Amino acid sequence: MKKESGEIQRKSPTRLPKIVSADEIFDRMQQVLDRVSTRAYEIFESRGGGMGWDLADWFNAESELLHPVHLQVVQTEGGLQVQAEVPGFTAEEIEVAVEPRRLTITGKRESKSEEKKGETVYTDRCSNRFLRVVDLPAEVDAKKVKATLKNGILELEMPKAAPAEKIRIGAKAS
């Protein structure tokens, strides 16, 4: 670069990319594979362990870990507020399942276009899926959860569950 006075200004040195050994790359790949494998097994167990869905469990685990839905969970006095980024999905393409301490958000979108030019037909198909499972920091009342989708943001209002009543149980002498 030249200054106005005609002097040459030196550029700051550029940072070179970090050289990583092949062992480090393979170790990182093994860590990712282990995480996906562990999560796939958790999904397998959560649906009862029936055979025949092994590959679907694996793909769901990959989707969840490698392409996660970005979300924010905020705990308030009255419950939890969750915002999840789901751009491009409609309300009909999203499914929300709530358990007292777990939230599962899934989405599946498929599109197909067909164009005919003379004797040739061009067909394009696209499928997009996601799965996000989150353990919640507090127990919520699943029956009172409200969900809205606006501008690619899924908002959930999740009221806290009423605390369980204590029950005294008297022991009998035998």
Distances (CA, A) of 36 to 27, 39, 51, 134: 14, 5, 18, 16
Dihedral pair phi/psi, residue 156, rounded to 5°: -120, 130
Domains and CATH numbers, the chain: 20-67 (no CATH), 69-162 (2.60.40.790)
pTM: 0.61
Dihedral pair phi/psi, residue 47, rounded to 5°: -100, 15
pLDDT, tens only, 142-168 = 999 999 999 999 999 999 988 877 788
> How many other C-beta atoms can be found within 10 angstroms of the C-beta atom of residue 56?
13
Dihedral pair phi/psi, residue 76, rounded to 5°: -115, 180
pLDDT at residue 79, rounded to an integer: 94
